[in-house]
Amino acid sequence: MDAPELVALLRGRRTAVLTGAGMSTDSGIPDYRGPDSPPSNPMTIRQFTSDAAFRQRYWARNHLGWRHMDQTMPNAGHRALAALQRAGIVSGVITQNVDLLHTKAGSTGVIDLHGSYARVVCLDCGYTMTRVALADLLEQANPGFAARAATLGGIAVAPDADAMVSDTASFRIVDCPHCSGMLKPDIVYFGESVPKARVDQAYSLVDAADALLVAGSSLTVYSGFRFVRHAAAKGMPIAIVNLGPTRGDDLADVKIDNGCSPMLALLADELPALASSA
């Protein structure tokens, strides 16, 4: 596989990277908008906070789905970006994913734009706890639920750790152990805004780089697309690697319609060697 225009664009440039759900498909986590993605209706913050039945169903499904995500391992693309960061070529990673696979692969200082499946926050008092701790509480409140669901066969899991199971009517949710308020995964849902401090941190990463590489994102959601617009306004070189069209294609200097793993592995092979021979 060869992509000389991609290698040429990023050669000699400290590159900030923005990743999306397409980055993790090779790890077994489906994306929302890829050409082969199943129909999906990601949860909105309004649904979660205003509908008790919806919230019950969500926590029942998440009680199963988060385990799958926790056990998921990085793929060749994640490992390639970590290697490029160690080589000083990638300056940092902004990810729209909540799966922590970049961190598992060894990338440092990752900006988890939309939060993480591994932490839970109380919407009333701000108390936080790990998803592992909540799992113990949910299992105590619903003994045997996870084991019974596992006997039904394979469980499909969405990018936000929502497992597609239907037997949720008897599931008991758990409130905040600190104030009895409403608990929510520390994930930015559709209809929510990314915390300003996190956005500013991501802008700073882009500003300090020489180029921007987008990997595995359709850029449909503005929370990610804004950084492409920002880079374009600065005249910064932009490369996009994604299966299918993206909202930022017209702003890109190079667009590669391919999967992330093979193309990022190519960069990890090519760029450090070029840098050392320069």
Write out the catalytic residue numbers.
114
45 is in an annotated binding site: no
27 is in an annotated binding site: yes
41 is in an annotated binding site: no
Dist CA 174 CA 134 (whole Å): 8
182 is in an annotated binding site: no
25 is in an annotated binding site: yes
CA-closest candidate to residue 19, choices 263, 272, 277? 263
The answer for residues whose C-beta is within 8 angstroms of residue 256's C-beta and 6 or more apart is 3, 6, 239, 240, 241, 242, 263
180 is in an annotated binding site: no
3 is in an annotated binding site: no
122 is in an annotated binding site: yes
Residue 36, both tokens: 């082969």
Beta carbons of 176 and 182 less than 8 angstroms apart: yes
Residue 273, both tokens: 């060697």
193 is in an annotated binding site: no
The answer for residues whose C-beta is within 8 angstroms of residue 155's C-beta and 6 or more apart is 64, 65, 68, 149, 163, 164, 165
Dist CA 87 CA 85 (whole Å): 5
Dist CA 68 CA 28 (whole Å): 10
258 is in an annotated binding site: no
154 is in an annotated binding site: no
Residues comprising the binding site? 20-40, 96-99, 122, 125, 176, 179, 216-218, 242-244, 260
Can you say which residues are annotated as belonging to the binding site for Zn(2+)? 122, 125, 176, 179
